[in-house]
Amino acid sequence: MAVAAPPTVVTRDPALEPIVDKVLAGQRIDFAEGMTLYRTRDVPALLRLADVVRERKVGPKAYFVHSLRLSQTNVCYVGCTFCGFARRFGEDGVWDYDLDDVWAYVDTHHHPDLTEIHIASGHHPKREWQYYLDLVQGLTSRFEGVQVKAWTAAEIHHFTKITRPRLTYREVLSELKQAGLKAMPGGGAEIFAEHVRRRIARAKVTAEGWLEVHRTAHELEIPTNATMLYGHVEALEDRLDHMDRIRSLQDETHGFLSFIPLAYQPDNNPLAAELESLGKRVHTTGLDDLRNLAVARIYLDNVPHIKGYWIMITPEQTQLSLAAGVSDVDGTIKDERIAHASGAVTEAGMTEDELVRLIKDAGRVPVRRDALYAERKVFS
């Protein structure tokens, strides 16, 4: 029987050659090598290398989930400059759902295959802690088979501030888990580097706080994701530093399921206005999106999935990203509001048929999964 030849990656960049050898030998690359990946002009070789790594890790499968986005409120006083979603009380476009509004919202968007409710919202200054527990418990009991994947680490941090006496991260997460929480989304990470975070998310949970929330979640066996907001005022070193901190935590806990780069949406937010005044308000380019995903796939050698988030980089670009290290395209989503508040040009949701076609046409096998990556249906 013929033995399949090992994959090759041919590069015209001499700086890339030793890294290719190392990665193909299954070895971890260091920070300087990660920067070489970011800086290489041989982007086709970089993408091919990421594709080989992806193939070794997950084979031909590409995953998606029937997910509903829920933001129970957009009331928020944190003032992140990249955000077009937050509103103050009394402003146009503000919403603030009571529990009955939440049930009605999910009823409206319910679908027989709905698997995941993904919740991210504002830091509401007045809602009481019990409301959040009732929300998770109510969704879990009312919508059978639906897994609640809720609140970013930034919101978990906020919850510790509204409780009296003040609960710890562990106590907040334990109570949410008891109420039915199954997983946590990766939002609120932005960029960890202090000089950037101070500029775009000054009053938000610190980088150390974000990582500590996720460490605690993992210790409590709550799997989580991690995101990175890129394409604004950060440098490439800041992106790699961000991934490096996630890789280190994952070495300790193994609790991250996926990493999701979030392409900055430059409309209707204060950062966009600031960049506009400097003549620098730009959307990420297709090349940067793919390069960034490929670097993530290679550098984050201990994270199972890299997600191409079609809401922010378009379905077309997401399809291409399946050849650049991506193994997950998120899902149906239905009613995305955070990116769209900042000008995302995509639809607010996609159908299963559309996602299956997108994946199949890229030569991959679509797999419908649940929030924890258990396979529900393979479209072979």
> Smallest Cα–Cα separation from 326: which of 361, 298, 356, 351?
298
Q: Which of 52, 229, 293, 313 binds ligand V47 (CB under 6 A)?
A: 229
DSSP secondary structure string for all residues of 45-98: HHHHHHHHHHHHHHTTEEEEE-EEEE-SB-B--S--TT-SS-B-TTSTT--B--
Put residue 101 in one of left, alpha, beta given phi > 0 → left and psi -120 to 50 → alpha: alpha
Residue 186 interacts with ligand V47 (CB under 6 A): yes or no: yes
Alpha helices, DSSP H only, in the chain?
17-24, 31-39, 43-58, 99-109, 129-142, 153-162, 169-179, 194-200, 207-219, 236-253, 270-277, 286-299, 310-313, 315-321, 338-341, 352-361
User: Residues near 345 by Cβ (< 8 Å), separated by ≥ 6?
Assistant: 314
Residue 255 interacts with ligand V47 (CB under 6 A): yes or no: no
Residue 151 interacts with ligand V47 (CB under 6 A): yes or no: no
Looking at this protein, which amino acid is placed at residue 161?
K
Q: Which of 264, 299, 310, 373 binds ligand V47 (CB under 6 A)?
A: 264
State in angstroms the smallest separation of the CB of 5 from ligand V47. 36
Cα gap 380→366, rounded to integer Å: 7
Place of tokens 């077009």: 84
Q: Total residues at the site for ligand V47 (CB under 6 A)?
A: 24
State in angstroms the smallest separation of the CB of 122 from ligand V47. 10
Query: Of all residues in this chain, which one has the CB nearest to ligand V47 in the complex?
Result: 187
Residue 342 interacts with ligand V47 (CB under 6 A): yes or no: yes
Q: Which of 33, 212, 289, 330 binds ligand V47 (CB under 6 A)?
A: 330
State in angstroms the smallest separation of the CB of 9 from ligand V47. 29
Q: Which of 106, 181, 260, 303 binds ligand V47 (CB under 6 A)?
A: 260
Q: Which stretch binds ligand V47 (CB under 6 A): 78-86, 135-143, 159-167, 248-256?
A: 78-86
SS3 371: coil
Residue 46 or 120 having the CB closest to ligand V47: 120
State in angstroms the smallest separation of the CB of 203 from ligand V47. 14
DSSP secondary structure string for all residues of 106-138: HHHH--TT--EEEE-----SS--HHHHHHHHHH
Residue 216 interacts with ligand V47 (CB under 6 A): yes or no: no
Q: What are phi and psi of 46, to 5 degrees?
A: -60, -45
The binding track of 107-146 with respect to ligand V47, each residue x by CB under 6 A or -, is -------------x--------------------------
State in angstroms the smallest separation of the CB of 47 from ligand V47. 22
Residue 29 or 262 having the CB closest to ligand V47: 262
State in angstroms the smallest separation of the CB of 4 from ligand V47. 34
Q: Which stretch binds ligand V47 (CB under 6 A): 30-38, 259-267, 294-302, 345-353?
A: 259-267
User: Would you say the C-alpha torsion 315, 319, 321, 325 has a positive or negative sign?
Assistant: positive
Both tokens of 99, joined, read 């529990």
Q: Check: CB of residue 200 under 8 Å from CB of residue 232.
A: yes
Q: Check: CB of residue 160 under 8 Å from CB of residue 172.
A: yes
> Smallest Cα–Cα separation from 307: which of 282, 326, 284?
326
State in angstroms the smallest separation of the CB of 19 from ligand V47. 29
State in angstroms the smallest separation of the CB of 84 from ligand V47. 6
Residue 227 interacts with ligand V47 (CB under 6 A): yes or no: yes
Q: Which stretch binds ligand V47 (CB under 6 A): 70-78, 242-250, 336-344, 372-380?
A: 336-344
Q: Which residues bind ligand V47 (CB under 6 A)?
A: 82-84, 120, 152, 185-188, 190, 225, 227, 229, 260, 262, 264-265, 269, 309, 312, 330, 338-339, 342
